[in-house]
């Protein structure tokens, strides 16, 4: 259903990993090569399967013994008892193979174009018109790997930007529309335009948002993306 670049990244074990437990709906894998900020991650795909990836140190802290059966509820109880907290899960959205092919056949809307350093003034005005919360949630930046903007009567009203994610052929994207211009399809068209840009450069677009951000979930679905699952990571605090 999803391109192999996506499923390989999320579901294929790395050469440095070691499977600790695999049950019907839960697997736990240790990997000493994990970065500190991802020393514990939990992926739950839409088929109900949960995959935990952690360092051997975290596994020892949680007293996880190789081959010992544990269900997800039991795992989370051990997690809580160990004092390890999670950041809070994100939805993961991608284009399926079918929707990807449809996307590539579309032209960009005339109101949409890539943004460059020459658009710095327009981007600054865009930021000044947006709330700090919206800017923080979406993380759109003019110096990202790819940046596209949508214009309405000459004004920059919607921005999408993306950057390569975790040394993988994935491009993580954020999109923000100024409040007065929402509900007009700017975000949908912009996400699809910047996604074509990523695909032309051999990167699969990745759309993440918090589970309770219903407006962002609706925007992803409107743009033709399909939920792959949820992903949580250990809290930086």
User: What confidence tens digit (pLDDT) does each residue in 201-222 have?
Assistant: 999 999 999 999 998 999 999 9
Shortest CA distance to 6 belongs to which of 93, 135, 80? 93
Q: What is the pLDDT of residue 64?
A: 82
Q: Which residues contact 84 (CB under 8 A, 6 or more apart)?
A: 40, 58, 61, 62, 234
User: Kindly report the CA angle at 172 between 90 and 104, in degrees rounded to 5?
Assistant: 120
Cα 159 to the chain's mean position, in Å? 17
Taking CA atoms, 172 is separated from 21, 70, 163, in Å, by 30, 33, 6
* pTM over the 0.75 mark: yes
> Predicted confidence band at 108 (pLDDT cuts at 50, 70, 90)?
confident
Mean pLDDT over the full length of the chain: 94
* CA–CA dist 193, 158 (Å, integer): 12
Helix (H, G, I), strand (E, B) or coil at 191: helix
pLDDT of residue 202: 96
List the domains of the chain with CATH numbers: 4-84 (no CATH), 93-227 (3.40.630.30)
In the structure, what pLDDT confidence band is assigned to residue 144 with cuts at 50, 70 and 90? very high
CA distance 52 to 20: 10
């Amino acid at each position: 259903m999803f391109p192999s670049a996506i499923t390989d990244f999320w579901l294929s074990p790395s050469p440095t990993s070691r499977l600790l437990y695999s049950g019907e709906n839960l697997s736990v894998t240790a990997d000493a090569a994990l970065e500190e900020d991802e020393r514990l991650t939990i992926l739950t795909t839409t088929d109900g399967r949960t995959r935990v990836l952690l360092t051997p140190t975290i596994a020892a802290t949680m007293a996880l013994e190789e081959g010992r059966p544990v269900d997800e509820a039991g795992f989370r109880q051990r997690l809580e008892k160990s004092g390890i907290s999670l950041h809070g899960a994100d939805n993961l959205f991608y284009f399926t193979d079918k929707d990807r092919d449809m996307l590539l056949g579309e032209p960009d809307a005339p109101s949409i174009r890539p943004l460059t350093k020459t658009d710095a003034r327009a981007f600054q005005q865009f930021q000044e018109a947006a709330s700090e919360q919206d800017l923080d949630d979406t993380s759109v930046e003019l110096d990202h790997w790819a940046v596209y903007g949508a214009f309405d009567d000459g004004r920059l009203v919607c921005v999408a930007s993306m950057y390569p994610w975790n040394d993988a052929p994935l491009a993580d994207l954020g999109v923000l529309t100024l409040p007065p211009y929402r509900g007009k399809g700017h975000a949908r068209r912009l996400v699809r335009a910047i996604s074509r840009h990523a695909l032309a450069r051999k990167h699969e677009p990745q759309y993440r948002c918090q589970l309770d951000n219903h407006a962002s979930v609706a925007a992803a679905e409107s743009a033709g993306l399909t939920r792959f699952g949820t992903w949580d990571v250990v809290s930086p605090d």
